[in-house]
Amino acid sequence: MLPAEFYFTYDTLTLSQKLLGCELVHDSAEGITAGIIVETEGYLVGDPACHAYRNKTKRNAPMFGVPGNIYVYQIYGMYLCVNISSGGEGVGEAVLIRALQPTQGQELMQERRSRHKSASGKVLKEKDLCNGPAKLVQAMGITKLHNNFLVYNSEIYCNEPILADVEIVTTTRIGITQGADLPYRFYVKGNRFVSRK
């Protein structure tokens, strides 16, 4: 497992890139699910798209926790996304996890994902399990209860890189209007589990 120091060592944009290739694991009561992080975005101080841009609130408080603190928020009334706090304690920055390449518990991922979908019962292709921030939250069984869990000291944690020396593509973030030109999105080049090229 990656130690606490890993999250303290790097600034937010560097950490966003360092996390690519690492395995995110959730050891839950239902079973273990895991996947390699293949896509991330950084949200920084002074960045208008960052939830902590204006000030600290009840919702964004987990972003101000120690690096490695988990921040889960609801979006569009029906989805959740997960972030890892970064940039130092008391600094409102975080890394958004946007896509995973499944490595463990794909069956459980299927079940959790179909639980959320409307009663179509269709079996998803493996690449559709975790190729989006809200999708991977469903597949991994992450909820708001995981707010303020530490990613190096809880049932959710990161392992050392599985993909080594990956080639990283740097581009603009998805789904935002403020700060849309900032190159704060990173993904593993050529990986088919990325949400968008």
Partner DNA sequence: TTCCGGATTACCT
Partner DNA sequence: GGTAATCCGGAAA
Q: Which residues in this chain contact DNA in the complex, by CB under 7 A?
A: 41, 43, 49-51, 54-55, 57-60, 63, 71, 73-79, 81, 83, 94, 96, 113, 116-118, 120, 122, 128, 132-135, 138, 173-178, 195
Instruction: Please state, in angstroms and rounded to a whole number, the distance separating the CA atoms of residues 53 and 92.
Output: 8
Asked if 48 contacts 39 with a C-beta cutoff of 8 angstroms, the reply is: no
CA distances from 138 to 43, 94, 142 (A): 22, 20, 6
Nearer to DNA by C-beta: 62 or 105?
Answer: 62
Residue indicated by tokens 């921030």: 133
Name which of 127, 149, 153, 157 is nearest 139 in CA terms: 127
Asked if 33 contacts 170 with a C-beta cutoff of 8 angstroms, the reply is: no
84 DSSP β-pair partners: 70, 95
Nearer to DNA by C-beta: 29 or 120?
Answer: 120
Nearer to DNA by C-beta: 138 or 191?
Answer: 138
Please report how the helices 106-116 and 133-140 are oriented relative to each other, as an axis angle in degrees rounded to 10: 110
Instruction: Please state, in angstroms and rounded to a whole number, the distance separating the CA atoms of residues 182 and 127.
Output: 27
Helical H runs in the chain? 4-9, 12-18, 106-116, 133-140
Residue 139: CB minimum distance to DNA, A: 9
Residue 164: CB minimum distance to DNA, A: 26
Nearer to DNA by C-beta: 134 or 162?
Answer: 134
Residue 172: CB minimum distance to DNA, A: 11
Nearer to DNA by C-beta: 32 or 75?
Answer: 75
Nearer to DNA by C-beta: 3 or 74?
Answer: 74
Residue 35: CB minimum distance to DNA, A: 13
